[in-house]
Structure 1
Amino acid sequence: MHDRSTPISPTVGRRWLAQEIRRLREAAGLTQRDVATRLRCASAKIAHMESMRNAISGPDLEIVLPFFGVPAERVDWYLQLADVAKQKGWWDGNRAIPEWFSLYIGLEWGASEIREWDLGFVPGILQTREYAEAVLADDLSASAARLQQQAEARLRRRDALNRANAPLSMHAIIDESALRRVIGDRQVMLDQIEQLVKFCADPRVTVQVMTFEGGPHRGQLGSFHLLDFTRDHDHGVVYVENQSGGACLEEVVEVERFRQVFEELTMKALSIEDSEGFLRGLVGDLR
């Protein structure tokens, strides 16, 4: 069984460490300036540690943890977390992955569960190679070699579903428009829908379809991903994307708002059984 206190992804390790530094500092009644004085550095350095912009080093940890009043027997866990946090994931520095998207991939790789609402496309993790290539080909500035690299990176994300320890589970709600819009050609769409049907039988994946008959709903404001993690008191992350890039939202109020929206979408979408039937109907239409 996966140790709930050990992150799978270096990105998640950095996130947890940043959260812990802030939590411990506030619990000790200290300001960022107090910690900066203890480390003999600028306050900005502490702010960057707590925002994940910069990682905290092992030597700095060994200074601040006693300053925060952390028991000696707990120090090793933080040092191990720092070791995990400084590792590199396969996505770090990968030229096929935009820098703004690298943070999301690292979080996705270490998440325990993802709830995803998609208006425009089939979720990336569930895409076939041909569908992914057709989606990516919309970027007319990318070379054929780069498009192939990007497709490979997208397919590799699916490996999170096959982790030996604590595989990722996914609940995807897909708008009917994303399933009817032809990406590539009819054969590409047929193969993609057939793959979704196969995922319906996968215990790690839940697929629901939001049909046009579902009427208006708050999901019409845009797609989003809600990521949860194994660590207690981790409220999760919401990822949203637009034309200029992506953003991760972590404020508890924001995350809970999106969690509520997803629950509403779950109720408005077709049931799991009816969603599979709908997908099988699309397969028949495309043949």
Structure 2
Amino acid sequence: MRRAASPTVRRRRLASELRRLRERRQLTLEEVAERLAWSATKVSRIETCRVGVTLKDVGRLLDFYEVSASRREELIDLARDSRKKGWWQAYDDLPTEYATYIGLEAETASMRGFAAMIVPGLLQTEEYARAVIRGALVISPPGEIERRVEVRMARQTLLFRDNPLRFWTILDEATIRRAIGDSAVMQCQLKRLLEVADLPNITVQVLPFAVGAHAATGGAFHILEFPQPADPGVVFVENLTGNLYVEREADVYRYTVAFDHLCAKALDPDDSRRFIAKAAAQLG
């Protein structure tokens, strides 16, 4: 079964291709902007995927870069695909940053990450997710919490499709010990972790408090990798004031090294399951 392509990933790929075409012509942003009667800011925002780009503007760029007919057709098709809507855009009240992340996640082939405080959204039970979202949305309009829960549950289909996402998470012990909801909610969540840990595409490890300082004391992160070589990996870092996408190859590599160090310090998958099972049993 072919996976639906993510418009967000397509936009990212198109932006990268347009930047590459300019660099091959050894042109600056200012030179392109002057020739097309645009601002250098507009060209920059197109190349960094900060704004969508119209088919007309893509055509003007390709004309200016003197792209061959076959290559032009390929990039125009990519531009058309990048304008298609993903399933999550039916929830038109989702914050832009969240919608952007879901778009990237939808096309991810594998994801590795470290969860510092709460269980990753892809592994959350509905009741746990509801408690997490309620805690985060101190002020929210009617129905907002339930819409967020619905979206979070829909995202989890990535783990169970015909060609499932490969998901490897390292959970800080705090994610196991922190009481989210009541004891029944936490116990169900821990049992859920045990269930998914048995799936061949999911790896769960626990990083005990006893480890002390480690490579990710700065907080949680996820490394997203895509099936197409044209789509380089990206690191997603979430914080209270906004989301950060790390894309420079050297920086992505640093997070990859940090993840490898965490793997070495964490309990192995079998010991992690026993750790989680014991914590679940202690809840009653």
- Regarding TM over 0.5, the answer is yes
Distance 1:270-1:144 versus aligned 2 partners, 3 A rule? farther
**Aligned mates of 1:157, 1:53 — CA distance in 2:** 24
> Which residue matches 1:112?
109
> Which residue matches 1:83?
80
Instruction: Confirm or deny: 8 A CA contact 2:46 2:53 kept in the other structure.
Output: yes
Cα deviation, 1:107-162, whole Å, max 9, x if unaligned, reads: 11121111121111000110000000111121332256211111111111112223
Instruction: Confirm or deny: 8 A CA contact 1:96 1:149 kept in the other structure.
Output: no
**Aligned mates of 1:120, 1:181 — CA distance in 2:** 8
SS in 2 for 1:173: strand
**Aligned mates of 1:90, 1:283 — CA distance in 2:** 35
SS in 2 for 1:114: strand
Would you say 1:261 and 2:254 are equivalent positions? Answer: no
> Which residue matches 1:225?
222
* Residue among 263, 270, 273 paired with 2:270: 273
- TM-aligned CA deviation for residue 69 of structure 1: 4.6
**Aligned mates of 2:23, 2:126 — CA distance in 1:** 47
Would you say 1:136 and 2:136 are equivalent positions? Answer: no
Cα deviation, 1:75-109, whole Å, max 9, x if unaligned, reads: 22211211111112233373553233222121111
Instruction: Confirm or deny: 8 A CA contact 2:11 2:82 kept in the other structure.
Output: yes
> Which residue matches 2:45?
48
- TM-aligned CA deviation for residue 32 of structure 1: 1.9
- Note the residue ranges of structure 2 that are not aligned, 5 or more in a row: none
> Which residue matches 1:148?
146
Equivalent positions of 1:27-42 (< 5 A) are: 27-42=24-39
Equivalent positions of 1:7-22 (< 5 A) are: 8-22=5-19
Letter aligned with residue 150 of structure 1: R
Instruction: Confirm or deny: 8 A CA contact 1:117 1:225 kept in the other structure.
Output: yes
Q: What is the root-mean-square deviation of aligned Cα atoms in Å? A: 2.1
Letter aligned with residue 255 of structure 1: V
- Note the residue ranges of structure 1 that are not aligned, 5 or more in a row: none
SS in 2 for 1:218: coil
Letter aligned with residue 152 of structure 1: E
- TM-aligned CA deviation for residue 168 of structure 1: 1.8
| Number of aligned positions between the proteins | 283
**Aligned mates of 2:74, 2:181 — CA distance in 1:** 49
> Which residue matches 1:175?
172
- TM-aligned CA deviation for residue 173 of structure 1: 0.6
- TM-aligned CA deviation for residue 227 of structure 1: 0.9
Instruction: Confirm or deny: 8 A CA contact 1:101 1:245 kept in the other structure.
Output: no
**Aligned mates of 1:97, 1:174 — CA distance in 2:** 27
Once structures 1 and 2 are overlaid, which stretch shifts more, 229-238 or 92-101? Answer: 92-101
Of all paired residues, the percent bearing the same amino acid is: 37
Equivalent positions of 1:182-193 (< 5 A) are: 182-193=179-190
TM-score by length of 1: 0.91
> Which residue matches 2:160?
162
